[in-house]
């Protein structure tokens, strides 16, 4: 039986505000436990919540960035449940009338075959709503007891819900990455996954390929890295398929991923909305957003990734997949534009630059576990490399050598000229031109009569052997394209 995987993600993004969503307590991370929770966060009698304006503006910003509808009126609701880290006994959230409705996100799903361009999909979002975070239960260091830290209680969250349109773990990760790139780009979330600023719940189900109805889903809670997200889904998909094929039935439940065992485990059977006894929050008026406020937020927005993308495609002629990859984070787009600014002919050289960023640079950053902002080859230096590739000074092979030498020595001060200095110092200039290459080729032909005869007898492979000899004699510096042409000419 062929199975289709169905995934919808609920992402909790902590909004970057100085104070909490309904109180003046600080949202700073890492303070001593219970030093940043005030009576409002604890829901003590007589306190009243007051909505944080900044949190609302962040939600509007997000809504505009994904082309969603920003609701003119939205309603806060009480979601009732009992848990030790929830002192009020309810969470203030939004339910039937959220602040953001709809919207889309373009994602780039890496190709399964290395070197192929990523696949692009547009994913629909259901909604995004404002809510408060809960506190944290601490199970360490208490001699068998648990402690509660309420510093996080009341931290503003934007819960962002996707339609069940994702069809693989890879697509789910691509979506989560795109969303992470967007909220950090917009400056509404710091994106720090270790600190829990960006947490993902994955709803996963499977169905026989071709079946219309969705299967029963399990929800895997609180995944705080892209790797865990991917592995948790992969495990869960295998588990559900095996269960069904063995004659079992998936039950709707909440599960937790254990990275050490690399498996998901049942936590509790899933509550239905009814279990939460949602009702409108009596202490808060409806959230009214007028067009003027939306315009004010719009005017204050940074250039959006989608706008930059369109510009890269229209003005620089980059393929959509390249434009999407380069704008996957603000730091990446800034690096690209800084390098572009150092190129004499940006339009003609943009594609080479893009290839280097998505190829060699991305691979090296990945190997070293570095963010692009900490690249050991600076943007202007990468531009210097592209300039010397474009004017024929460097072959692809020599350029890689220059790049890796720079990387090993880096980060060094200076712009494109650093590349030239290195080329001179190490004699990495490509050897071009008939007058220099001619004698080298003549020598190779004289020394390899056997290969020459074989080639003339129709053995194509012999030609490559001769090219190899020329490259060897030139210490890898001969211009490969010219060697090919000249060799063909000389062999007649
Ligand atoms: P709840 O709020 O109870 O978790 P929702 O209907 O709001 O439930 O859906 C939450 C998430 O689950 C959404 O991202 C949605 O796309 C996803 N989802 C819903 N049904 C399925 C399913 N059968 N398989 C996978 N994901 C699903
Ligand atoms: Mg849910």
ipTM above 0.95, yes or no: yes
Give the pLDDT confidence of 132-151 residue by residue, as tens digits: 999 998 887 777 888 999 99
CB-side exposure of 446: number of CA atoms within 13 Å?
Answer: 7
Taking a C-beta distance cutoff of 8 angstroms, is the pair 90, 277 a contact?
Answer: no
Give the pLDDT confidence of 39-87 residue by residue, as tens digits: 999 999 999 999 999 999 999 999 999 999 999 999 999 999 999 999 9
Q: Please state, in angstroms and rounded to a whole number, the distance separating the CA atoms of residues 240 and 266.
A: 13
To test the pocket of ligand 1, the residue of 203, 249, 254, 273 to mutate (highest count of ligand atoms within 8 Å of its CB) is: 203
First-last CA distance in the chain = 59
Handedness of CA 180, 182, 183, 184 (dihedral sign): positive
Q: Please state, in angstroms and rounded to a whole number, the distance separating the CA atoms of residues 346 and 383.
A: 10
Residue 479: which pLDDT band, with cuts at 50, 70 and 90? confident
Ligand positioned closest to the Cα atom of 10: 1
Q: What's the mean pLDDT in 256-269?
A: 92
Which residue spans within 242-394 are E strands per DSSP?
A: 253-258, 263-269, 279-280, 287-288
Q: How far is the CA of 216 from the centre of ligand 1 (A)?
A: 10
Taking a C-beta distance cutoff of 8 angstroms, is the pair 255, 266 a contact?
Answer: yes
CA R_g for the chain: 29
Is residue 217 lining ligand 1, measured as CB closer than 6 Å?
yes
- Tokens at 57, concatenated: 């503006």
On the 0-12 / 13-18 / 19+ scale of CB atoms within 10 A, 94 is buried
Question: Which of 427 and 258 is assigned the larger pLDDT?
Answer: 258
Is residue 94 lining ligand 1, measured as CB closer than 6 Å?
no
Q: Please state, in angstroms and rounded to a whole number, the distance separating the CA atoms of residues 383 and 180.
A: 28
Is residue 93 within a helix (H) or strand (E), and if so which, with residue range? strand 90-94
Q: How far is the CA of 10 from the centre of ligand 2 (A)?
A: 7
Q: What's the mean pLDDT in 197-216?
A: 97
Q: Please state, in angstroms and rounded to a whole number, the distance separating the CA atoms of residues 443 and 490.
A: 12
Q: What's the mean pLDDT in 436-460?
A: 90
Greatest alpha-carbon pair distance for the chain in Å reads 98
**CA of 272, closest atom in ligand 1:** 3
CA 221 to chain centre: 20
Give domain limits for the chain.
3-292, 302-426, 434-491
User: From the CB of residue 152, how many other CB atoms can be counted at a distance below 10 Å?
Assistant: 22
Q: How far is the CA of 164 from the centre of ligand 1 (A)?
A: 6
Q: Is the peptide bond before 411 cis (omega within 30 degrees of 0)?
A: yes
pLDDT for residue 289 is more than 90: yes
pLDDT for residue 171 is more than 90: yes
- Tokens at 286, concatenated: 């409806």
Q: Please state, in angstroms and rounded to a whole number, the distance separating the CA atoms of residues 254 and 203.
A: 9
Report pLDDT for 271.
67
User: Which residue has its alpha carbon closest to ligand 1 atom 7?
Assistant: 161
Predicted model pTM: 0.88
Q: What's the mean pLDDT in 242-246?
A: 97
- Picking from 203, 258, 207, 198, the residue whose alpha carbon sits closest to that of residue 233 is 203
User: From the CB of residue 425, how many other CB atoms can be counted at a distance below 10 Å?
Assistant: 9
On the 0-12 / 13-18 / 19+ scale of CB atoms within 10 A, 378 is buried
On the 0-12 / 13-18 / 19+ scale of CB atoms within 10 A, 181 is buried
Q: Which residues contact 117 (CB under 8 A, 6 or more apart)?
A: 111, 319, 321, 322
Q: How far is the CA of 397 from the centre of ligand 1 (A)?
A: 49
Is residue 155 lining ligand 1, measured as CB closer than 6 Å?
no
Q: How far is the CA of 446 from the centre of ligand 1 (A)?
A: 73
Taking a C-beta distance cutoff of 8 angstroms, is the pair 247, 196 a contact?
Answer: no
Q: How far is the CA of 203 from the centre of ligand 1 (A)?
A: 6
On the 0-12 / 13-18 / 19+ scale of CB atoms within 10 A, 315 is exposed
To test the pocket of ligand 1, the residue of 4, 5, 6, 10 to mutate (highest count of ligand atoms within 8 Å of its CB) is: 10
Question: Which of 145 and 122 is assigned the larger pLDDT?
Answer: 122
Q: Which residues contact 218 (CB under 8 A, 6 or more apart)?
A: 203, 204, 205, 236, 240, 250, 251, 252, 253, 254, 255, 264
- Mean pLDDT across the chain, nearest whole number? 94
Q: At what angle do helices 396-409 and 379-390 cross, to 10 degrees?
A: 160
Q: Which 3 state secondary structure label does DSSP give 172?
A: helix
Report pLDDT for 481.
85
CA 437 to chain centre: 46
- Picking from 78, 74, 91, the residue whose alpha carbon sits closest to that of residue 280 is 78
DSSP assignment of 378-422, as one string? Answer: -HHHHHHHHHHHHTTSS-HHHHHHHHHHHHHH-S-S-STHHHHHH
The β-bridge partners of 128 are: 100, 160
The CATH architecture annotation of domain 434-491 reads: Orthogonal Bundle (1.10)
User: Which residue has its alpha carbon closest to ligand 1 atom 14?
Assistant: 8
Q: Please state, in angstroms and rounded to a whole number, the distance separating the CA atoms of residues 207 and 240.
A: 10
């Amino acid at each position: 039986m062929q199975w289709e995987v169905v995934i919808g993600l609920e992402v909790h993004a902590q909004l970057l505000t100085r104070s909490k969503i309904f109180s003046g307590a600080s949202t700073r991370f890492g303070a001593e436990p219970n030093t940043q929770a005030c009576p409002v966060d604890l829901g003590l009698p007589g306190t009243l919540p007051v909505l944080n304006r900044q949190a609302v503006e962040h939600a509007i910003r997000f809504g505009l960035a994904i082309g969603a509808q920003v609701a003119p009126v939205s309603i806060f609701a009480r979601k009732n449940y009992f848990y030790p880290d929830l002192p009020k006994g309810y969470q203030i959230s939004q339910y039937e009338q959220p602040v953001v409705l709809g919207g889309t996100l373009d994602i780039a799903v890496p190709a399964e075959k290395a070197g192929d361009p990523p696949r692009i999909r547009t994913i629909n979002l259901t909604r995004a709503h404002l809510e408060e975070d809960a506190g944290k239960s601490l199970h360490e260091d208490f001699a068998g007891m648990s402690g509660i830290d309420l510093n996080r209680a009341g931290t503003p969250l934007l819960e962002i819900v996707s339609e069940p349109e994702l069809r693989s773990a890879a697509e789910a990760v691509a979506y989560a990455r795109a969303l992470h790139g967007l909220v950090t780009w917009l400056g509404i979330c710091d994106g720090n996954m270790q600190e829990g600023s960006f947490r993902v719940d994955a709803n996963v189900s499977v169905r026989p390929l071709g079946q219309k109805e969705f299967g029963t889903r399990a929800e895997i809670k609180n995944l705080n890295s892209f790797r865990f997200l991917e592995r948790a889904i992969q495990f869960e998909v295998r588990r559900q398929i095996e269960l069904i094929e063995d004659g079992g039935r998936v039950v709707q439940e909440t599960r937790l991923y254990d990275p050490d065992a690399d498996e998901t485990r049942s936590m509790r059977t899933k509550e239905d909305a009814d279990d939460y006894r949602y009702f409108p929050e009596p202490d808060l008026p409806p959230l009214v957003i007028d067009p003027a406020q939306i315009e004010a937020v719009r005017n204050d927005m940074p250039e959006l990734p989608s706008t930059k993308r369109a510009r890269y495609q229209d003005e620089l002629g980059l393929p959509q997949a390249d434009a999407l990859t380069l704008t996957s984070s603000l730091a990446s787009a800034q690096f690209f534009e800084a390098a572009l600014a150092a190129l004499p002919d940006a339009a003609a050289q943009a594609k080479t630059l893009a290839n280097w960023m998505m190829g060699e640079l991305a691979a090296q950053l990945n190997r070293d576990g570095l963010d692009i902002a900490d690249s050991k080859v600076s943007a202007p230096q990468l531009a210097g490399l592209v300039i010397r590739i474009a004017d024929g000074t460097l072959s692809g092979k020599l350029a890689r050598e220059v790049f890796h030498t720079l990387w090993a020595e880096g980060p060094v001060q200076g712009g494109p000229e650093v590349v030239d200095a290195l080329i001179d110092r190490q004699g990495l200039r490509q050897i071009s031109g008939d007058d220099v290459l001619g004698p080298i080729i003549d020598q190779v032909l004289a020394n390899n009569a056997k290969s020459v005869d074989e080639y003339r007898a129709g053995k194509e492979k012999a030609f490559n052997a001769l090219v190899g000899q020329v490259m060897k004699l030139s210490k890898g510096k001969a211009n490969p394209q010219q060697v090919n042409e000249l060799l063909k000419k000389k062999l007649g």
